[in-house]
Amino acid sequence: MVFEAAATRRHRFVVAISLIVLAASCGGSGTEVATPSPCVTVTPGSDGSPTPTPCPAGAPGAEPTAEPGVAPAGESWQGTADLTSLVVYPGPDATCQDGWVLEFTFVASAEGTIEGQGTGDLTTPPTCSFPINDVPSIAHVEYQVLGEETAGGFSIRFALATSGFTQGATLAGFFSIFSVPASPTGGPPVSVAVSGTSGTGEGAWQYGSGNPPATYSANGTITIECVTCEAA
């Protein structure tokens, strides 16, 4: 009987020590012990049985949390933009203006980069301060979406796809979003701030070309929405 009682006490002692080590690993004590998931702590009660509870944020074994304002990597996003583009030619009252809508999607990678694709369609035909003699306008483009995650959202660039546009001419400044000449790394970046599962940014692109130079520009608001994120 004495031997059995001693063995029982040793068994309870070993179980108690094991539970203490597991609880310490959740508290971030620095002890290099394999951390279970979820963490195990002892629920006060008559039987002292362990109950699974989440680790504190930041503790070993805790589930990773996204930075405020940035969705976890691997999420898919969709975006739109309504743009007004303009060209101002040298000389008095020599301008052309048109309107475009962008629709695009992208995925944020674990490495912090984004990749996707999109289309742009002419929604407002060009109007100029001079006769254009029914010059056919480019009305549809295809492009890649490139960029990086930032501390508060995304930095987004648009890169014109090879032969990714209809035949015709662009009479205003829409192509400034791709950089001129078109670059495989895309045009000037746009900063899009994310709050929860959506974000907005103001696009403003401009370049000069010619001698004397004409000024080509495009402006508009970009909105994005996470299509795979769970709302907080």
48 with 82, same domain?
no
Q: Note the pLDDT of residue 146.
A: 96
Same domain, 45 and 102: no
Question: Is there a single domain that holds both residue 45 and residue 159?
Answer: no
Q: Write down the pLDDT at residue 93.
A: 84
Nearest alpha-carbon partner for 129 in 164, 94, 162, 103: 94
Note the pLDDT of residue 126.
Answer: 93
Mean per-residue pLDDT pooled into runs of 10, the chain (232 residues): 42 38 41 42 54 51 47 82 96 92 95 94 93 86 95 94 72 90 86 95 93 93 93 55
85 neighbors 50 (Cβ within 8 angstroms): no
Residues 107 and 203 in one domain: yes
Residue 164 pLDDT: 59
Residues 89 and 152 in one domain: yes
CA distance 79 to 90: 35
> One-letter amino acid identity for 94?
A
**HSE on the CB side for 111, CA within 13 Å?**
4
The residue segments making up the domain with residue 98 are 76-226
Position 181 scores a pLDDT of 73
In a domain, 66, yes or no: no
How buried is 164 (Cβ within 10 angstroms: 0-12 exposed, 13-18 middle, 19+ buried)?
Answer: middle
Q: Are residues 19 and 91 in the same domain?
A: no
Residues 17 and 100 in one domain: no
Indicate the number of domains in the chain. Answer: 2
Q: What's the rounded Cα separation, in Å, for the pair 212 and 230? A: 52
Looking at the structure, do residues 86 and 200 belong to the same domain, yes or no? Answer: yes
- Say if 218 falls within a structural domain: yes
What secondary structure letter does DSSP report for 174?
A: G
Same domain for 198 and 100, yes or no, is: yes
Instruction: Confirm whether pTM is higher than 0.75.
Output: no
pLDDT, position 120? 95
How much is the pLDDT for 182?
Answer: 72
Other CB atoms within a 10 A radius of the CB of residue 42 amount to 14
What's the pLDDT at 88? 96
